A and B are shown apart, each in its own frame.
Chain A
Amino acid sequence: MFKSSRKIIAAVAAAALFSLTALASTSSAATGVKLYTPYMSLSAAPGEDLSYSIDLINDTDSVQTADLSYSGLSSDWKPELTAGGHPIKQLSVKPNDSQIVNLSVQVPYEVAKGDYALNVNAGSFGSLALKINIAEQGTFKTELTAEQPNMQGHSDSKFTYNLTLSNHTAGKQQYSLAAEVPTGWDATFSSGGTNVTAVDIDPNGSSSITLTVTPAENAKADTYQIPVHASNSSTSADATMEAVITGTYGISLTTSDQRLSTNVTAGGTKNLELVVQNTGSADLTNVSLTATTPTDWEVTYEPKTIASIKAGQSVPVTATIKSTSKALSGDYVVGMTAQASEKSADAAIRVTVKSSVLWGWIGVLIIVAVLAGVYGLFRKYGRR
């Protein structure tokens, strides 16, 4: 196609010279012209676009003009001849030059398997018989695809799937969208930033749809299948998304009445009703209860260990706090820990130590004894 500028000048000069004589004998010039394209037989899938580049070669000494046309395919295939970006019907080629014509063909979605012939006629240049082999049966359907149908996350995260809904049908379709999520879950479709329940798609068009799935708060650790449907009365498409919820581990330790304070007599014991709760979405195993106590204090639990706690369940535990008689009156902190294999929880119990009232009564007794002694003195010395 590309020639040096010198050759172009020579060709233009030659064309000017011979054009006068060429007018008289156009038919005889047919021997020096050809049509050429490299791909004579192509395989294509339904919906695919094919593009041919056809060279019109003029080896004669005169300008050759040709009417361009094609035949052999139905209008579904939308064959089109273009040159220089425009549809073209007629073309001239300078002597000893060539021109390129593009032929584009769109294989329809609804096409039978087999060979299809396409003839390109270029008048005096002759014709080209092209073959298109359709390797598979064409479809007439809607497609729903996802970039990444499988996602993983915690139960408190959101799952966002990017879906593409393609309308491979001949007509414009309105699809209603639905996602089957487990109970308590929430699914919303959005297209172009707004939440939608239905989308309109032109034939052979597609729309990108975002599906946002919010799992239920207490969703257990599992793999969840979420079938998604885009359907109307005539066509439908399905796809299945997967949401993999990884379990969260949560444990809480508190008292049965939520009060984190208690009191105990110095040297005495006190029972405290505790509740160990699994606040996560996965089971906890081997929960053992321990305590950080002031020196010489003892905390015993009943039960001391819990084999497993199912997600969302709670287990009552009785803690017995035994204080030492040497404890000062006032407040102490007893730290209690519920330690599961997966996670642990602490509770700081404020224990107010009260001194024993026994010595108080002994003091009262001493005072009473002394007063009785004085009364005795009164009796002995006073009223005689």
Chain B
Amino acid sequence: MNAFIEKLRLRMPRPEASRAERSSSPFWVMVQKEFGDHIRSWRFIILLAIVTLACIGSIYTAVTAIKEGQAGDTSFLFLQMFTISNGALPNFLTFLSFLAPLIGIAIGFDGVNSERNKGTLSRVMSQPVYRDDFLNAKFVAGLLLIAVVVFSLGFLVMGVGLFTIGYPPTPEEFWRVIASLLITVIYVGLWLNLSLLFSVRFRQAATSALSGIAIWIFFLVFYGMIVNLVGSATMPSNPMNTDAILRQQDWMMLLERISPAYLFQEAASTLLLPDTRTLNPFITQDQAYLAIDAPLSFGQSLLLVWPQVVAIIAETVLSFAASYVAFMRQEIRSRS
């Protein structure tokens, strides 16, 4: 951060610069600096190594599964690179939904409090920059980094897929992958914002890291169990009462969808599995009668998961807003 401040100083001797330049340029300088700091940090390299290893493992399992002929329907063979597994390792999508939040948490958890503790925050704030630029730069740099990582992994899978199965993706398959990678970026952005919020809220970096990881574990491991528990507790006593069972399942589904991890899994897997026609746990006999087992078009798949996508975007933006408000309300003192 010290080098960054020097750089700011270099820029500052031009007070006559236009307002537009002053408002945008320092912000992008901060974003660049932040981005560079992350790229070079050991923390990020280790995380990236873990995630990449996991991805390579999932590619391997997908390729073996395809070679063993587990890909029953070959109409969307390329997409199966992301969703199929031979059982030894989880598939790419599962890995991504499990590990990608860690990238967000790791990038964000000490974003504000470490600067505050080191005293660099007050030094940056003493420069002629807008106060919120600091947090915005943290967020934008983190999101860019996440986008770079997620898209690299996604393209890695596509590349290896091209290389091993020798079967190019159709435009539709390509756009499906791009859309699901975009959703992944937004989803990881949600975790980045959450950890930024903790880093604003908690003075100790360790506390904020632990809070972030606690929420991560809660949603990815325990939340499903809790919902199951609630589900079995509220199961209608009469198993023949279809209406009651349907109503209870709807409620369970609603509960499940509170978890952003579940929303993400629904959204991404629907986009990558074109055969998915509904996200409801039950298809009634009425709905299934005379229905043909045929894949949906990309637009229809997107429309199907649009509520999920909207929810993820909204949650991301809201958590950013929360950290924004928390940050702006805080006092900034040197060595506070």
A residues apposed to B, CB below 8 Å? 292-296, 324, 326-335, 350, 354-355, 357, 359-360, 363-364, 366-367, 370-371, 373-374, 377-378, 381-383
Contacts and interface: CB of A to CB of B under 8 A. Distances in A.
Interface string B295-336: 110001001101101100110011011001100110000000
Given A326-B287, A371-B317, A382-B131, A331 B325 contact: no
Contacts of A378: 132, 324
Contacts of B325: 377, 381
B283 interface: yes
Nearest to A327: B287
A295 B286 contact: yes
Nearest to A335: B290
Contacts of A334: 290
Nearest to A324: B286
B167 to A, nearest CB: 25
B306 A359 contact: yes
A329 B290 contact: no
Interface residues of B, number: 34
A62 to B, nearest CB: 112
Given A366-B310, A373-B321, A374-B317, A357 B303 contact: yes
A331 B294 contact: yes
Say whether chain A's binding surface is mostly helix, strand, loop, or mixed: mixed
Interface of B: 130-132, 277-278, 283-287, 289-292, 294-296, 300, 303-304, 306-307, 309-310, 313-314, 317-318, 320-321, 324-325, 328-329
B309 to A, nearest CB: 7
A383 B310 contact: no
Contact of B130 (A332, A371, A374, A383): A383
A363 B321 contact: no
A339 B12 CA distance: 86
Contacts of B304: 329, 355
A285 to B, nearest CB: 30
Contacts of B284: 326
Max chain B C-beta neighbours (<10 A), residue from A326, A328, A330:
A330
Nearest to B275: A330
Nearest to B294: A331
Nearest to B23: A383
B286 A332 contact: no
A325 to B, nearest CB: 11
Given A374-B320, A381-B324, A332 B291 contact: yes
A336 to B, nearest CB: 12
Contacts of B292: 330-333, 350
A384 to B, nearest CB: 9
Contacts of A381: 132, 324-325, 328-329
A367 B312 CA distance: 10
Nearest to B290: A294
A323 to B, nearest CB: 11
Contact of B291 (A331, A335, A359, A363): A331
Nearest first, the 9 A-B pairs at minimum CB distance are A295-B286, A381-B328, A363-B310, A382-B132, A331-B292, A331-B294, A294-B290, A330-B277, A370-B317
A355 to B, nearest CB: 5
Contacts of A377: 321, 324-325, 328
Given A329-B296, A330-B277, A331-B292, A363 B317 contact: no
Nearest to B132: A382
Contacts of B291: 294, 328, 330-333
